[in-house]
Structure 1
Amino acid sequence: MSRSLLTKLAGGSKLEVLKFGLYVFTPIAIMYYTGVPEFLEREVMPLRTKLFRLDQETYHPPAQSDDIKQYMELLRTRKDRILGGSGAGARTDEKPSSS
């Protein structure tokens, strides 16, 4: 086969230049499109709000010892309610008596 026939079958240098341009400018175009502030406000912010539930109040753990004790008591009552008051796994603050 002659060189001109191979060039015609392979597409030639014009095709290579076109492919190179696509390989280089496609990622740049995508980064430009997704980097503009309008895309962020239109696409990302609603998804972020739905995903992380930003409209609800954030949980703040108790900081004072009284608040911690109150919360622990609440957890104990929940646990007793779930276990049905059977006492299985219930914590007692009493020390066992030594005989």
Structure 2
Amino acid sequence: MGGPGLEVAKFAFYVFAPIGFMVYFGGPHFYERFVAPDLYKFNPPPKQKLPTEMAEILKLNEEDRKMRMERRLAREKALKEMQEAEQK
């Protein structure tokens, strides 16, 4: 076949080709050139800033509870009206 020189060349290619791909495609120059310009196009930053302080989190949690309670009461009221309309 090819001899020991060819086997050494194939082995070197099999070992160093993946390493070369990782170095090139994983390097910061590749990221800055191809990925960074489109980063916010496909993954925009959130429009609403998430709270970080405990007081803000508790406030939002309480507002959410109130909204859920209001929706629940409205649902129950509508259900009660529907039942009363069916009985008549």
How high is the TM-score relative to the length of structure 1?
0.50
Aligned match for 2:17, one of 21, 26, 29: 26
TM-score under structure 2 normalisation? 0.54
1:60-99 map, 5 Å:
60-64=51-55, 68=58, 70-85=59-74, 86=76
Which residue of structure 2 aligns with residue 41 of structure 1?
32
Give the greater-gyration-radius structure (CA).
1
Shift of 1:13: 1.8
Tell me the matched-pair count.
75
CA RMSD of aligned residues (A): 3.2
Any stretches of 5+ residues in structure 2 without a counterpart? 78-88
Aligned partner of 2:83 in structure 1 is none
Structure 1: unaligned runs, 5 residues or longer:
1-7, 88-99
- Taking the aligned partners of 2:9 and 2:23, their CA distance within structure 1 comes to 20
Calculate percent identity across the aligned residue pairs: 31
In structure 2, what is the equivalent of residue 17 of structure 1? 8
